[in-house]
Chains A and B, each alone.
Chain A
Amino acid sequence: MLRQIGIRLLRLVPVLLLITLLATAALDLMPGSPALAMLGDDASPEQVRELTRRLGLDQPFPVRYVEWIGAAVQGDLGESLRMGIPVSEAIAQRFPVTFQIALMAIIIAAALAVPTALFSGANVGGRLDRVATATSSGLLSLPSFAAAVILIYIFGLQLRILPVNGWVPLGEDPLGNLRFAILPAVALALMEAAVYYRLLRTDVISTLNETFVLFARSRGLDKRYILARHVLRPSMFSLTTVMGLSLGRLLGGALIVEALFALPGLGTLLLQSVPSRDIPMIQGIVVVMALIYVVINIAVDLGYSLIDPRIRVRRSA
């Protein structure tokens, strides 16, 4: 197991290098001067040139990249051009918000999808199955920002039971935090729930035809017990992978929802950094996201072994 982790972590290095190189190159090709963004519309060309020089942005691209990556491996992601504080500090402040929303979204999605998929898969063609499958089809075509708009309209504007935007830190007021977090988390969860449901339902149907399930049935065991005890775990492989990837995607992809709900998360930070051409911040966010994504992938792979001991056996063999 440790060797597996070591090998995968080593593979992580070239992946991260490639991602940061591509991200930095893309930023370099993006039109718009960071110096001009900082100085404003009335800046003189001389002012822009001087600030560009002061920021080190007049250096050739390879020089800037090597300098940045050299500092980054030592944990120094540079200083935000817009905020004047270390990039790592800004990311550390925002990450908990994004992580909480993403995690809540996955938990909500799983809480909706897993029991529904289990019972749907066990009763194919039944009323619950037909309703759930049709609903999931609808939710699959509902992007999170559209879901957010609908949720805001219903729970914020009409029922007025939840705030339409804003944020309270978890440590400051846990209940208040939950009130602010629930709508964005549900907005993100709905499509994920549909994906989880369809995936798990298919796997449940497949598992129900396995001999060990037939054997359990022949012993007269309770149907619910069989589903929970014998069907769920072997049906979870695909779902585990997708949930892992979901977390990575939600961490990096909740930009619009974060902006809509005015959440002080990484997505909002990225959205505010692009117009101001805050290159160090964008680079920092990209590298952190990439790192998280790759680490999650490793964790998912290793998670298989925990779910199914047969994988451990095959690997060691």
Chain B
Amino acid sequence: MSEQAGKVARLRPALGFTSLAAALALVATGCAQQPVAEKEEVDVSAEATAGGDLTVLIEIPARSFDPAVDNTMASTGDGARNAAVFDHLLYLDPATGEAIPHVAESLTPNDDGTVWTLTLRDGIEFSDGTAYDADAVKYTYEHIVEVGVQAIGRTVDTWTMDVVDPLTLEITTPEATMHLDKLIADSLPYIVSPTAMEEDPEGFAEDPVGAGPYMLDEWVRDSHEVYVKNPNYWQEGKPHLDSVRMELVSDAAQRVNAISTGQADMQTPSASSDLALIDQAENAGLNVASIDVNGGGWIYLNNQRAPFDDVRAREAIYRAIDRTGLAEVAQGSPSARAIETLFTETSPFYAEDLTFPEPDAERAQELFDELADEGTPVEFDYVNVAGDVNARQAQYIQSQLSEFENVSVTIDTIDLPAARERVFMNRDFDMSPYPGAYRYPDPEPALYNLLITDGSSNTPGYSNADVDAALDAARATTDPDERAEQYRIVQERFMADLPGLFTFQPRIDSVMTDEITGLVVNSRGTLVWSELGFRE
């Protein structure tokens, strides 16, 4: 049982006022809610008791139960569903970034990180009786490549996979990496029954077969699913619950309302909660367990075109904006914090002295004037993605910059699909928010993809040879000192180049009643369902 959540869970007795009206008013005005008083902690790491029917609220409708079709793996969507049905081969600890074998016994590299050996536990079966073996893992990964929806499929397509024996799979990668376990834990944890998939590929998406703690029993599209305990689950005495009902409630305030009135027991953990509503949940007497994770709210600055192809313009933005105020206003809560360093204090790569530039109005104005004198004033479009938090963030930035001369910003708000096309695909933007927070429990693979030249998440188009070399060197070693040294170089260069604007400190928030325990989540916030249950 992980203690990750137990360290941070807090119980908040009711303060007597919780309502959707208050939440909406709060969101509408961006006002700070009264802070909740410190209260007794509730340990959510305690072993759950056997039995019970859990109702959990989920934000995103189910699209398919074929893991190869899930392109987000969101803890608030199909990630949560797939984790219940398929379980995690490995999962990433959000606090440490460590890949923890779960269904897998181990996943280890050879000396140079070109061949990885996956060893599975003996005797595990899918719920249809098919053996959970190396063939099944290989089959699943080939299926992901074939379906072609997940970006990770392009990486898997470069691998060579050899089934050594029923419990051993060798994965050979074209480039050395000492951190493939983290990639698999993060993006390839769900393994399907080849038998069921082969028998009915179309039907599998609606009637999945996995080796997870629960089996899908009922699915009413865009309404709810019911999962029942898998009697052949591989862990003795688990899962704890008899059934799990996942109900779709898209409105965040209504999820809190439903839990506080006893209609539901919890909502799926989220890494992009509106903190105003989290405060509201605490004020309603609900238990909120929070885990800080590396990363932050992230606003792209286009390094490939004016004005932000000039580092002075990027620094001027950092100097002009009070990022603490930005975090509080955008998140709608005084408990929101600005990210100050690239890694949290609990990370082995934390560097206290390498912080983002402090707000400095005088320096900001100097830079804006300097650029204007050169004929390149900081005039830019802010391509905003529709949503409450994003709207408040955009308006705050615009209002802060309006205090300065020789800088102007125009906000253009579009919805997420339009933003995906314009920002991610066409790179037609000057400044634009990443949807939610960009998180990297370990720098591998997320920070690598964010900062490496032409990385899959490098939307700003940042390129720095020193950073590339350091990222590659860190990827090629497991030595903690060597990694820390390389990531220090990355942080130094980042603070000098400021390729994007990091804003708030992200965290994974779980909202639940006091009755819930056994809370273990992966780095995306997805539950490890076998542990979850009711306390005695």
Contact = CB atoms under 8 A, between A and B. Distances in A.
Does A pair with B? yes
B71 A38 contact: yes
Contacts of B250: 259, 262, 268, 271-272
Contacts of B424: 36, 41
19 contacts: A32-B416, A32-B418, A33-B421, A33-B425, A40-B72, A41-B435, A41-B457, A42-B457, A48-B425, A94-B222, A152-B254, A157-B18, A157-B20, A164-B257, A164-B258, A164-B261, A166-B249, A259-B251, A260-B251
A30 interface: yes
Given A152-B257, A163-B258, 12 more contacts: A32-B418, A36-B420, A44-B154, A47-B148, A156-B261, A164-B20, A164-B258, A166-B263, A167-B223, A262-B248, A262-B249, A262-B254
Interface of A: 30-34, 36-45, 47-48, 50-51, 82-85, 90, 93-94, 149-150, 152-153, 156-157, 160, 163-167, 259-262, 264, 268-269, 271-272, 274-277
Contacts of A42: 71, 151-152, 456-457
A36 B421 contact: yes
A55 to B, nearest CB: 13
Contacts of A262: 247-251, 254
A164 B417 contact: no
Interface string B394-432: 000000000000000000001111111110110000000
B501 to A, nearest CB: 18
A180 B457 CA distance: 43
Interface size, B (range): 35 or more
Contacts of A152: 19-20, 254, 257
Give the one of A34, A44, A160, A164 with max B CB within 10 A: A164
A79 to B, nearest CB: 12
A246 B19 CA distance: 30
A150 B19 CA distance: 9
B261 A32 contact: no
Contact of A90 (B64, B150, B152, B221): B221
B50 interface: no
B127 interface: no
Contacts of A157: 18-20, 257, 260-261
B21 interface: yes
Contact of A164 (B21, B254, B415, B435): B254
B165 to A, nearest CB: 34
Interface of B: 18-21, 24, 61, 63-64, 71-72, 148-152, 154, 205, 220-223, 247-251, 254, 257-258, 260-261, 263, 414-422, 424-425, 435, 456-457
A292 to B, nearest CB: 20
Nearest to A41: B424
A42 B434 CA distance: 13
A40 B20 contact: no
Q: For the complex of A and B, list the 10 residue pairs with the smallest distance between their C-beta atoms, beginning with the closest.
A: A40-B71, A32-B417, A42-B151, A31-B418, A32-B418, A264-B223, A153-B19, A262-B249, A164-B257, A37-B417
Contact of B254 (A30, A38, A83, A260): A260
Given A36-B425, A39-B71, A262-B248, A269 B222 contact: yes
A262 B63 CA distance: 17
B508 to A, nearest CB: 20
Nearest to A261: B254
A106 B251 CA distance: 25
B417 A275 contact: yes
Nearest to A50: B148
B221 A33 contact: no
Contacts of B251: 165, 259-260, 262
A180 B424 CA distance: 41
Nearest to A152: B20
A82 B417 CA distance: 13
B425 A45 contact: yes
Contacts of B205: 84
Contacts of A259: 250-251
Nearest to B457: A42
B254 A36 contact: no
Contacts of A149: 19-21, 24
Nearest to B449: A42
B261 A275 contact: no
B263 A30 contact: no
Given A31-B414, A32-B415, A163 B222 contact: no
A83 B205 CA distance: 10
A165 B57 CA distance: 11
Given A84-B64, A262-B247, A153 B417 contact: no
Contacts of B260: 157
A102 B431 CA distance: 43
A36 B257 contact: no
B417 A150 contact: no
A30 B417 CA distance: 10
